[in-house]
Amino acid sequence: MMLENIAQGASVIFTPYNIFFCWLGSSAGLLLGATPGISATMSIALLVPMTFALSPATGLIMLGGIYCGAIYGGSIASILLRTPGTPASAATVYDGYAMTQKGEAGKALGLAISASVTGGFMSALVLLFAAPQVAKVALKFRSAEMFWLVIFGLTIVASVTGKSIVKGLITALLGLVLATIGMHPMTGFMRFSFGFASLYDGIPFIVALIGLFSISQAMVLVERGGEEKQVTVPRIGRVFPGWKLLYKLKWTMIRSALIGIGIGAVPGPGATISAFVAYDQAKRLSKTPEKFGTGIPEGVVAPEAANNGVTGGSLIPMLTLGIPGNECTAALLGGVMIHGLIPGPKLFTQHAPITYAFMLSMILNELFYSSFGFLFVKYLAKMVLIPRGILAPVIVVLSVIGSYAIRCSLTDVGFMLGMGLLGYALRKLKFPLVPIILGMILGPLAEENLARSITIAHARGTNLLFFFIINPIALVFMIITGLSLGWSIYKRATTEVISEEGL
């Protein structure tokens, strides 16, 4: 059955049209990712409108390309300028930039590409073979299990992102409240619309995403002024690091890729955390840990294999359960939903050819962005020269196009700007933005499943809490939610005490 689905997916992806859009997505993602100040999430948010006119399969294939390309693209500025193009490449700065200072910029860039491809390729394979199995389990989930799965996903993301659990919970709840605006999913009753027709369908998720991530980032960019300081791109030289060195680094790459896949599959920590964990692991297991930070190849390949390993891993909960684990997959989820596909186990049955084509495209993406990277990295490096004074207005223009294109409504553009202001204020107050987006996505799912659980519990003449407890999977999610929240609160409290004592 699985092989049959893979064959069907291959017949969808291997057409000149879809291959072209796969290449286009990888290249566009690579270009945006290489631009300092534009994250992978922002790249997806800004380019989602380009997929509106495409078929669901082609749109999804292109979005996957943007995701993979942008994650790798971030490493270019990290290595050359000590300015991570995306937060996921922050750990690459230590040894990548040190190698550039030693005159080995080309070698560092080549190692980053090779490690990214290893991580991305392994994670794409894991996605292809593991996701259908998870989907089979997910098919058994009913309303009680789904409700607690959503609550689990939300609380874990709220507690691991940002520095304060309370702030994480506030933004998650804010997202859930925003999701209640508009028509009630079951009765059609209008809530919190205050008579505005534009609010009858609620605030479109993509509009909120573009505002929160793109507009707030444009505002952050202009904080530092528009004209760049004179930046010079260092001499790059030969890019390919050589087979011998790559063979020597194989275990570091494989181990780091596995770390990335594992971390990516868990909701909450994303590519950034996985890159730091892999860097730390590589340092611990190294015979010469003191050399880390001085410009050694292990310090470049570990974070790069891990952050690209996240790409496939993080798509497992998103595709199978509809739970995006981080902001990138949340943005991707929005793109998937725009094309009328509802993530969850049914993607693997009702829309199997599209889903499998998308998963296969993740493998193809690795080929595209790596070849593009190896051939054009010297030119991609020039992206770091774009002044913020140009970048910020262009981001605004693309955000306006994206938010308008969804319903051809200027009111949506106004909502987008409003969400941008909210996002900027939240950033300044150190509130994490990811939970608000997850709350907006998962809110309707949670409400619908809670309402169903209440109806079933009433029909059975039992109490709602009892109904949850007698469902073993729901009970497990309840316990894990409580434990993870309790553990996070305890850990933060003890860290705070230590930090205060330290002061």
Partner 1 sequence: MFSKDRIAALIVLSICSFLLIVSLSYPAEVSRWPQALLILLGLCSLHLLITGGLKLKGGDAGASKIPKLRIILLVGVSIVYIICIGVIGFVVSTFGFLLSMTYLLGIKNKYYILATSILISAFTYTLFWHILRIGLPRGILF
Q: How far is the CB of 414 from partner 1 (least distance, A)?
A: 7
Tell me which stretch binds partner 1 (CB under 8 A): 112-120, 335-343, 372-380, 393-401.
Answer: 393-401
- CA-nearest of 290, 287, 234 to 97 is 234
Tell me the one-letter amino acid at 379.
Y
Kindly report the number of other CB atoms within 10 A of residue 129's CB atom. 12
Does 430 interact with partner 1 (rule: CB under 8 A)? yes
Does 429 interact with partner 1 (rule: CB under 8 A)? yes
By rule CB under 8 A, what count of residues binds partner 1?
Answer: 64
- CA-nearest of 265, 249, 227 to 112 is 249
Does 249 interact with partner 1 (rule: CB under 8 A)? no
Tell me the one-letter amino acid at 404.
Y
Looking up tokens 């619908």 gives 448
Does 400 interact with partner 1 (rule: CB under 8 A)? yes
Percentage helix, strand, coil for the chain under 3-state DSSP, each rounded to 5? 75, 0, 20
Choice from 4, 11, 137, 191 touching partner 1 (CB under 8 A): 191
Q: How far is the CB of 394 from partner 1 (least distance, A)?
A: 6
The dihedral formed by the CA atoms of 262, 264, 266 and 268, expressed in degrees to the nearest 10: 140
Q: For partner 1, what does the binding mask look like between residues 462 and 501, x meaning CB under 8 A?
A: ----------------------------------x--xx-
**Residue 242 CA, distance from chain mean position:** 31
Tell me which stretch binds partner 1 (CB under 8 A): 1-9, 253-261, 310-318, 402-410.
Answer: 402-410
Q: Which is nearer to partner 1, 186 or 470 (CB)?
A: 186
Query: Under rule CB under 8 A, which residues in 146-165 are in contact with partner 1?
Result: 163-164
3-state secondary structure 479-493: HHHHHHHHHHHHHHH
Burial 60-79 (b: 16+ CB within 10 A, else e): bbbbbbbbbbbbbbbbbbbb
Does 3 interact with partner 1 (rule: CB under 8 A)? no
With 0-12 / 13-18 / 19 or more C-beta atoms within 10 angstroms meaning exposed / middle / buried, residue 194 is exposed
Q: For partner 1, what does the binding mask look like between residues 22 and 61, x meaning CB under 8 A?
A: ---------------------------xx-xx--------
| Number of residues assigned to the chain | 503
- The dihedral through the CA atoms of 27, 28, 31, 35 has a sign that is negative
Does 201 interact with partner 1 (rule: CB under 8 A)? no
Does 388 interact with partner 1 (rule: CB under 8 A)? yes
Does 226 interact with partner 1 (rule: CB under 8 A)? yes
**CA 304, CA 291: separation in Å to the nearest integer?**
18
Contact 167, 432 (CB under 8 A): yes
Does 387 interact with partner 1 (rule: CB under 8 A)? yes
Choice from 245, 254, 385, 421 touching partner 1 (CB under 8 A): 421
48 CB contacts (<8 Å, ≥6 apart)?
63, 206, 210, 331, 334, 335, 338, 402
Does 450 interact with partner 1 (rule: CB under 8 A)? yes
- Three-state secondary-structure class, residue 55: coil
Q: Which two tokens stand for residue 14?
A: 């291997």
Q: For partner 1, what does the binding mask look like between residues 309 and 338, x meaning CB under 8 A?
A: ------------------------------
Q: Which is nearer to partner 1, 18 or 116 (CB)?
A: 18
**CA 35, CA 381: separation in Å to the nearest integer?**
9
Does 431 interact with partner 1 (rule: CB under 8 A)? yes
Choice from 3, 197, 408, 459 touching partner 1 (CB under 8 A): 408
**CA 309, CA 120: separation in Å to the nearest integer?**
5
Does 243 interact with partner 1 (rule: CB under 8 A)? no
The residues that touch partner 1, with contacts defined as CB under 8 A, are 49-50, 52-53, 163-164, 166-167, 169-170, 173-174, 176-177, 180, 184, 186-187, 189, 191-192, 215, 218-219, 222-227, 387-390, 392-394, 396-398, 400-401, 404-405, 408, 410, 413-414, 417, 421, 424-425, 428-431, 446-447, 450-451, 496, 499-500, 503
